[in-house]
C-alpha cells in the first residue's frame, strides 16, 4: 500500500479561522475547460494572517487579494495555503476545471448532455478553492454563462437577472438569501422538459414548483410533483415547518451516486428516484420516490436551515430526516408496512455493518473518507435513535423539543449534543444515559425470560442487557422496550404501574432488571420489543403456540409480522441443525389460514407469507452456512408451494385489482405476485397461462412479478421472456435496470458468465452507478448461492469490477465493496477467497482513499 491517508478525528474539531461574508461565483461553462471565478469577502476570526483552503483537481489561474495579484501562497494536491494576508480582505480566485472528464460524479460533472453538481460531502473543493466545511456559512450569488444550446441555467435561490451576451452566449444570475455551507451549493445547466406547479403555504405564500426532466420524460414526472406537494403539506401539519423560498426546483439526472441531494432550493435527484408511470415503474418504485422526495424536502429544515457543525455530526441531519420521511410515509400509507421496511433495513444491512470491520457509532469519531460514512448506521440506526427519543418523550414532547431545537439553532451549524439538549430542555428530561447511543457502536443484546405465577397472578420479566459482542466494554444503554401482553382471548392486558414502566414501555437501563406485572389472570403471550422499539437483538424463547397467538391477535401489524418471521427463523435454524428441511404442519396450516381468506391488508398478508431473507437469517449463525441456508429456504418455499397449491391457486384466481395506485390495488398486486412466486415453483398449465398473462400485462408491478417468479423457479420459458422484455424496453435504461437485476439473480450454472457477458449489453455502462448496482449489486446482494459459489468466481467478478471502478468512480467502488466487508463471517475457504480479493485491492497503485479506508479495516487484525 502507498502512504496511508490520515484519519480526521472528532475530538480534533477546531472552529474555522475565518468568516466569509459573501461569495460570488461565475461559471463560464465549457465541457473540458470551465472557468470558475470566485470572489469572496473574508474576516479573520483571531487576527490570523494565514488561510488554508481546500481544492482538488483544480487548475489555479490567478489569486488576487483586495484586487491585487497575490503571490504569497503554496499549493499541495488538496490545499492552497495563503500567507501575508490582511485580517479583512476580498479574495478573487480563478480556476479551470474539466466537467466532461469528471467521472467521479462529485464536483461539477456532466450527466448525459447536462452539467450538474454534487458537493456533499466534500465535492465543492473540486469546483474552487474554499473553506469546504459545513460550519462556514455564507450568502451565494452565482452567475452562469453558457452557449444558448444550453437553455436552462439553474442555481440555488432566486433568479435575479438573465440575458444575452454580446459574444452570442447567454447568462443567468441567482441569489440565495439564506446563508449556507458549500455542500449545499448546486448548479445545473442543460436542456429539459419542465413540469410546473404551485404550492400555497400555510401562511399564504405561493411557491413555484419546477421539476426538470430529460426531454420526452414529462409523462413520468407527475408522481414526484404530487409527492412534493404532499411533503410540503405534511411538514406544515405534523411539524409546523413551512417552506421559506418562493421557488423549489428538482432536477432529475441519470448519472448520480446516491438517491438525491437536498441543495437549497435546487434538489438534484437520481432519475431513478423521480421518474415513474404505471408502465415503467413498480408499486415499490412509486413508494420509494414519494419517500425520497419527502426526505430531500424535509432537509430544508433539518439539514439546510440547521446544518451540521462538522461531518461527524452527519446523523444530526440524516437520522432525523430519515425519521421524518418514515413518519411521512407512515402517516400517508400503512404504518405497519413502513415499519417492516425500516426493520428489514436494520436487520439486513445495519446489524451486519455494526458487527463488522466498519462498525461505527451513529456519530463516528474517526473518518478517512467522509463519503464512506453515508451508512445504514448513520442514516437508519440514526433514525432509530430519534424514534427512541420520540417513544420516550411522546409526540407532544418530541414536537416541543423540535420547536426549541429550531428556535435555538436556526441559521446555525449544530451538533448532535445540541439536538439532544433541546429535547431534554423542552421536556425537563434527563437524557444523559440515553446519549450513549450516539457514542457507542454495535448492536446491544437483551436476554429475556418470563415467569408466570398463577397463584399470585403475576408475570415477571427478567431482562438482561448484554453489550454488543464486538464491543464488550461498553456502558449500559437506556433501552425503551415496548411490550404487549395478550390474554388467552387475545385481549391486551393492561400493564400495572411500577417504577421504570411508562405506558407500554419498560425502561431498561441496567445489566439486569425485573418487571413484575400484577393482575394477570392467565399466562399471557408476550409481544416483546413491540414495533422494534429499540435497535437491539432480543433472545426470548416463546412457544410456537404463543407466536401463533400473537400472529392472530397482536394490536400491532408489525408485531404480527415479527411473530411470523420468528416462526420461520426458528424453523430454519432447526432445519439446519437437524438436517430435516421441513416446516411444521402447524406452520403450513397457519399460512394456509392466511391464504384462505385474503381480506384486509393484502400487502401485509403478502409479507406474512414471505420467508425471511438470507441476509436477515445470517445473524443466527456464527459462521454463515451458505449452502444449507440457501437449500433450506428453497426447501421451505417448495414445501409451501406444493402443500398449499390449491389455496395459492384459489387465492390468485380470486384477486382482482383496478390497476390504480390505491392502497387496495397495491396490496392486491403484492399478494398476487407472492402467490405467483410460489405457484411458479410447481408446474401446471393454469399457472403457465397466468404467468404469460402477467408478462403481457402493461402494469410493470405485475409484469415484473411474473418475471421474478420465473427467475426464482428457473422456469423453462425464462429465456424467451427475458429476451422479449429486452426487446420491448431496450430504449429505457431505468426499466432495463430491472432486467439487469433479474439477470443477475438467475441461479443456473451460466449465472456468472451471463453477468460478465452483460457488460457488453448496449444499455450497460460501468460509469453509471444505477447500471452497476442493478447488475453487479444484485448479484452480490440478492443472489447469495451464486455470489458465494465455492470456486470464488463470484468474488473474482466483483474484485475485477472494483479494480476498474476504483479509477472511474471511487465512491461507487466503495459502496460496491460492502459485501466483501463481512469476509470473516464465512467458512475459511470462502473467507480466504474474499481476503485474496481484498489484498489484491490493497496492492493496487492509485488506490482511492474511499477503498483504502474500507479495505484496510477489513484486513486489519
Ligand atoms: N444528503 C443526501 C441525502 O441524504 C445524500 C447524498 C446525496 C450524498 N448525494 C451524495 C452523500 C453524495 C454523499 C455523496 O439525501
Ligand atoms: Zn438525507
Cis peptide before 121 (omega within 30 of 0): yes
pLDDT digits (tens, 9 = 90+) for 86-98: 999 999 999 999 9
CA atoms of 619 and 739, how far apart (whole Å): 30
Residue that is written with C-alpha cell 445547466 in the block: 189
Task: Check whether 380 has a pLDDT greater than 70.
Answer: yes
Out of 2.60.40.1730, 3.30.365.10, 2.40.50.100, 3.40.50.2020, the CATH code matching 20-298 is: 2.60.40.1730
120 lines ligand 1 (CB under 6 A): yes
pLDDT tier at 2, thresholds 50, 70, 90:
low
457, 590, 639 from 545: Cα distances, Å: 21, 11, 21
CATH of domain 542-682: 1.25.50.10
Look up residue 135 and give its three cell numbers.
460550519
CA gap 116, 105 in Å, rounded:
9
Kindly give the distance from the C-alpha atom of residue 110 to the centroid of ligand 2, in angstroms, as a whole number.
23
Under CATH, domain 320-328+336-438 is a member of which superfamily? Neutral Protease Domain 2 (1.10.390.10)
Helix (H, G, I), strand (E, B) or coil at 100: helix
- Distance in angstroms (rounded) separating the CA atoms of residues 252 and 119: 16
Catalytic residue among 122, 290, 296, 657: 296
Q: Which helix (H) or strand (E) holds 423?
A: helix 416-427
Q: In testing the pocket of ligand 1, which one of 106, 123, 255, 260 has its CB within 8 Å of the most ligand atoms?
A: 260
pLDDT tens across 762-795, in order?
999 999 999 999 999 999 999 999 999 999 999 9
206 is catalytic: no
Q: What is the pLDDT of residues 733-771, one digit of tens each?
A: 999 999 999 999 999 999 999 999 999 999 999 999 999
Instruction: For the chain, give every domain's residue range.
Output: 20-298, 320-328+336-438, 445-541, 542-682
* Distance, CA of 747 to CA of 789 (rounded, Å): 11
Chain segment 307-332, per-residue pLDDT in tens: 999 999 999 999 999 999 999 999 99
Task: Give the closest residue (by CA) to ligand 1 atom 2.
Answer: 261
396-419 confidence digits (pLDDT tens): 999 999 999 999 999 999 999 999
Ligand 2 geometric centre to CA of 264 (Å): 13
- Per-residue model confidence (pLDDT) at position 683: 80
How many A from CA of 260 to the centre of ligand 1? 6
pLDDT at residue 111 is higher than 90: yes
Write the CATH number of the domain with boundaries 445-541: 2.60.40.1840
Mean pLDDT of the chain: 98
Q: Over 70: is that where the pLDDT of 580 sits?
A: yes
Nearest CA to ligand 1 atom 5: 261
Question: Closest Cα partner for 550 from 536, 566, 535?
Answer: 566
Please give the pLDDT value at position 1. 46
Contact 603, 667 (CB under 8 A): yes
Query: Distance between CA atoms of 613 and 344, rounded to whole angstroms?
Result: 9
Greatest alpha-carbon span in the chain: 95
Mutation probe of ligand 1 site: the residue of 102, 111, 118, 252 with most atoms within 8 A of C-beta: 118
Task: Give the residue among 790, 764, 387 at the shortest CA–CA distance from 628.
Answer: 790
The mean pLDDT of 155-163, rounded to a whole number, is 98
Give me ligand 2 centre to Cα 682, in Å: 44
Q: Say what the pLDDT of residue 4 is.
A: 85
Q: Are 482 and 505 in contact (CB under 8 A)?
A: yes
Q: Do the domains spanning 20-298 and 445-541 agree at the CATH topology level?
A: yes
Query: Which tens digits make up the pLDDT trace of 115-144?
Result: 999 999 999 999 999 999 999 999 999 999
> Whose Cα sits closest to atom 6 in ligand 1?
261
Neighbours of 412 (CB within 10 A): 15
Task: Report the percent of the chain where pLDDT is more than 90.
Answer: 99
Only one residue has cell 438482561, namely: 464
Mean pLDDT of 428-448: 98
Give the closest ligand to the alpha carbon of residue 124.
1
186 C-beta closer than 6 A to ligand 1? no
Amino acid at each position: 500500500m502507498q502512504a496511508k491517508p490520515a484519519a480526521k478525528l472528532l475530538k480534533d474539531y477546531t472552529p474555522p479561522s475565518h468568516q466569509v461574508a459573501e461569495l460570488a461565483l461565475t461559471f463560464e461553462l465549457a465541457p473540458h475547460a470551465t472557468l470558475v471565478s470566485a470572489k469572496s469577502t473574508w474576516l479573520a476570526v483571531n487576527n490570523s494572517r494565514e488561510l488554508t483552503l481546500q481544492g482538488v483537481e483544480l487548475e489555479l489561474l490567478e489569486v488576487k487579494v483586495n484586487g491585487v495579484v497575490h503571490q504569497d501562497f503554496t499549493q499541495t494536491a488538496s490545499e492552497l495555503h495563503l500567507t501575508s494576508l490582511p485580517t479583512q480582505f476580498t479574495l478573487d480566485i480563478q480556476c479551470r476545471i474539466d466537467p466532461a472528464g469528471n467521472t467521479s460524479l462529485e464536483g461539477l460533472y456532466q450527466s448525459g448532455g447536462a452539467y450538474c453538481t454534487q458537493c456533499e460531502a466534500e465535492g465543492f473543493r473540486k469546483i474552487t478553492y474554499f473553506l469546504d466545511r459545513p460550519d462556514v456559512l455564507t450568502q451565494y450569488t452565482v452567475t452562469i454563462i453558457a452557449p444558448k444550446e444550453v437553455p436552462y441555467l439553474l442555481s440555488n435561490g432566486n433568479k435575479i437577472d438573465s440575458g444575452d451576451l454580446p459574444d452570442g452566449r447567454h447568462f443567468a444570475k441567482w441569489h440565495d438569501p439564506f446563508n449556507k455551507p458549500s455542500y449545499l451549493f448546486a448548479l445545473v445547466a442543460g436542456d429539459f422538459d419542465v413540469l410546473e406547479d404551485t404550492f400555497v403555504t400555510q401562511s399564504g405564500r405561493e411557491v413555484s414548483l419546477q421539476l426538470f426532466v430529460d426531454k420526452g420524460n414529462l409523462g413520468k414526472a407527475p408522481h414526484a410533483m404530487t409527492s412534493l406537494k404532499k411533503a410540503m403539506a405534511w411538514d406544515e401539519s405534523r411539524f409546523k415547518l413551512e417552506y421559506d423560498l418562493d421557488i423549489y426546483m428538482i432536477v432529475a439526472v441519470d448519472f448520480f451516486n446516491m438517491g438525491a441531494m437536498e441543495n437549497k432550493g435546487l434538489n438534484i435527484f437520481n432519475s431513478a428516484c423521480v421518474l415513474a408511470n404505471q408502465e415503467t415503474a413498480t408499486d415499490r418504485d412509486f413508494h420509494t420516490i414519494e419517500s425520497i422526495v419527502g426526505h430531500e424536502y424535509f432537509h430544508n429544515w433539518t439539514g439546510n436551515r440547521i446544518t451540521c457543525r462538522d461531518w461527524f455530526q452527519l446523523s444530526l441531519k440524516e437520522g432525523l430526516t430519515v425519521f421524518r420521511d418514515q413518519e411521512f410515509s407512515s402517516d400517508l400509507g400503512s404504518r405497519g408496512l413502513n415499519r417492516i421496511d425500516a426493520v428489514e433495513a436494520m436487520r439486513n444491512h445495519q446489524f451486519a455493518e455494526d458487527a463488522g470491520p466498519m462498525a461505527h457509532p451513529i456519530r463516528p469519531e474517526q473518518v478517512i473518507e467522509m463519503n464512506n460514512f453515508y451508512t445504514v448506521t448513520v442514516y437508519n440506526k440514526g433514525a432509530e435513535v430519534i424514534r427512541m427519543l420520540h417513544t420516550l418523550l411522546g409526540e407532544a414532547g418530541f414536537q416541543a423539543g423540535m420547536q426549541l431545537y429550531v428556535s435555538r439553532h436556526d441559521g446555525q451549524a449544530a451538533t448532535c449534543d445540541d439536538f439532544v439538549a433541546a429535547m431534554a430542555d423542552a421536556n425537563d428530561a434527563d437524557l444523559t444515559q440515553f446519549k450513549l447511543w450516539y457514542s457507542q457502536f454495535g448492536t446491544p443484546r437483551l436476554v429475556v425470560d418470563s415467569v408466570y405465577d398463577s397463584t399470585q397472578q403475576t408475570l415477571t420479566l427478567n431482562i438482561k442487557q448484554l453489550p454488543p459482542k464486538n464491543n464488550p466494554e461498553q456502558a449500559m444503554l437506556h433501552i425503551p422496550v415496548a411490550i404487549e401482553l395478550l390474554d388467552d382471548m387475545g385481549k391486551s392486558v393492561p400493564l400495572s404501574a411500577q417504577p421504570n414502566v411508562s405506558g407500554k414501555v419498560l425502561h431498561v437501563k441496567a445489566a439486569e432488571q425485573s418487571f413484575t406485572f400484577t393482575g394477570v389472570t392467565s399466562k399471557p403471550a408476550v409481544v416483546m420489543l413491540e414495533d422494534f422499539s429499540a435497535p437491539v437483538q432480543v433472545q426470548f424463547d416463546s412457544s410456537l403456540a404463543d407466536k401463533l397467538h400473537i400472529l392472530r391477535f397482536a394490536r400491532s401489524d408489525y408485531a404480527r409480522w415479527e411473530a411470523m418471521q420468528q416462526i420461520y427463523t426458528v424453523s430454519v435454524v432447526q432445519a439446519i441443525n437437524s438436517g430435516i428441511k421441513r416446516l411444521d404442519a402447524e406452520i403450513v396450516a397457519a399460512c394456509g389460514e392466511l391464504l384462505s381468506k385474503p381480506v384486509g391488508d393484502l400487502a401485509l398478508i403478502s409479507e406474512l407469507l414471505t420467508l425471511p431473507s438470507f441476509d436477515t437469517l445470517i445473524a443466527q449463525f456464527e459462521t454463515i452456512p451458505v449452502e444449507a441456508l440457501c437449500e433450506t429456504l428453497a426447501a421451505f418455499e417448495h414445501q409451501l408451494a406444493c402443500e398449499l397449491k390449491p389455496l395459492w391457486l384459489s387465492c390468485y384466481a380470486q384477486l382482482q385489482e383496478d390497476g390504480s395506485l390505491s392502497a387496495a390495488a397495491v396490496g392486491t398486486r403484492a399478494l398476487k405476485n407472492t402467490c405467483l412466486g410460489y405457484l411458479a415453483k410447481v408446474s401446471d398449465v393454469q399457472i403457465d397461462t397466468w404467468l404469460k398473462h402477467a408478462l403481457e400485462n402493461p402494469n410493470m408491478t405485475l409484469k415484473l412479478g411474473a418475471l421474478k417468479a420465473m427467475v426464482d423457479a428457473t422456469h423453462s420459458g425464462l429465456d424467451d421472456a427475458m429476451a422479449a422484455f429486452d426487446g420491448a424496453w431496450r430504449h429505457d435504461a431505468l426499466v432495463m435496470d430491472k432486467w439487469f437485476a433479474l439477470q443477475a439473480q438467475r441461479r443456473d450454472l451460466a449465472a456468472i458468465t451471463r453477468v460478465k457477458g452483460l457488460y457488453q449489453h448496449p444499455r450497460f455502462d460501468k460509469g453509471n452507478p444505477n447500471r452497476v448496482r442493478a447488475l453487479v449489486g444484485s448479484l452480490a446482494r440478492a443472489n447469495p448461492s451464486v455470489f458465494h459459489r465455492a470456486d470464488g468466481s463470484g468474488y473474482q467478478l466483483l474484485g475485477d469490477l472494483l479494480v476498474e471502478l476504483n479509477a472511474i468512480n471511487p465512491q461507487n467502488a466503495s459502496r460496491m465493496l460492502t459485501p466483501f466487508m463481512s469476509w470473516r463471517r464465512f467458512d475459511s475457504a470462502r473467507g480466504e477467497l474474499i481476503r485474496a480479493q481484498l489484498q489484491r485491492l490493497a496492492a493496487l497503485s492509485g488506490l482511492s482513499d474511499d477503498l483504502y479506508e474500507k479495505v484496510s479495516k477489513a484486513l486489519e487484525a
